[in-house]
Amino acid sequence: MPFVIVLLGLGIELSPAHVLYTGPLLTAMPALASLTMGPKGTLSVAAGALGVSLITTTLHQAWGGQQIYSNLLGLLVVSVASVTTSNAVRTRRQGELDQVRRVAVAAQQVLLRPVPARLGPVRAASVYLAAESEAEIGGDLYEVVHTRYGVRMIMGDVRGKGLPAVRLAAAVLGAFREAVHYEDDLVEVMDHCAAALRRECAVPGAVGRAEEENRAEDFVTALVAEVPDEPVVQVVNRGHPPPLLLSGGKVQALTPSTPLPPLGLEDFIIGPPVKAESYPFPPGDRLLLHTDGVIEARDRHNAFFDLPRAMEAVDTCTPPEFLNQLHQALIRHAQGRLADDAAMLLVDRSDETI
| Whether 172 contacts 240, CB under 8 Å | no
b/e code 187-225 from CB counts within 10 Å (16+ = b): eebbbbbbebbeebbeeeeebeeebeeeeeebbbbbbbb
Give the model confidence (pLDDT) of 271-293 as tens digits. 778 899 999 999 989 999 999 98
The answer, yes or no, to whether residue 216 has pLDDT greater than 50, is: no
Lowest mean pLDDT among 4-13, 167-176, 214-223: 4-13
Confidence of residue 133 (pLDDT cuts 50, 70, 90): low
User: What is the pLDDT, as a whole number, of residue 42?
Assistant: 72
The CATH architecture assigned to 112-349 reads: 4-Layer Sandwich (3.60)
Reduced to 3 states, what is the DSSP secondary structure of residue 27? helix
The answer, yes or no, to whether residue 351 has pLDDT greater than 70, is: no
User: What is the pLDDT, as a whole number, of residue 148?
Assistant: 93
User: What is the pLDDT, as a whole number, of residue 312?
Assistant: 92
**Average pLDDT score over residue span 3-11:** 60
Q: In this structure, what DSSP letter does residue 353 have? A: -
The answer, yes or no, to whether residue 300 has pLDDT greater than 80, is: yes
Strand ranges across the sheet with 220-227: 140-147, 150-158, 220-227, 232-238, 277-280
Confidence of residue 267 (pLDDT cuts 50, 70, 90): confident
The answer, yes or no, to whether residue 27 has pLDDT greater than 50, is: yes
DSSP state letters, 270-284: -SSPP--EEEE--TT
Higher per-residue confidence, 317 vs 306 = 306
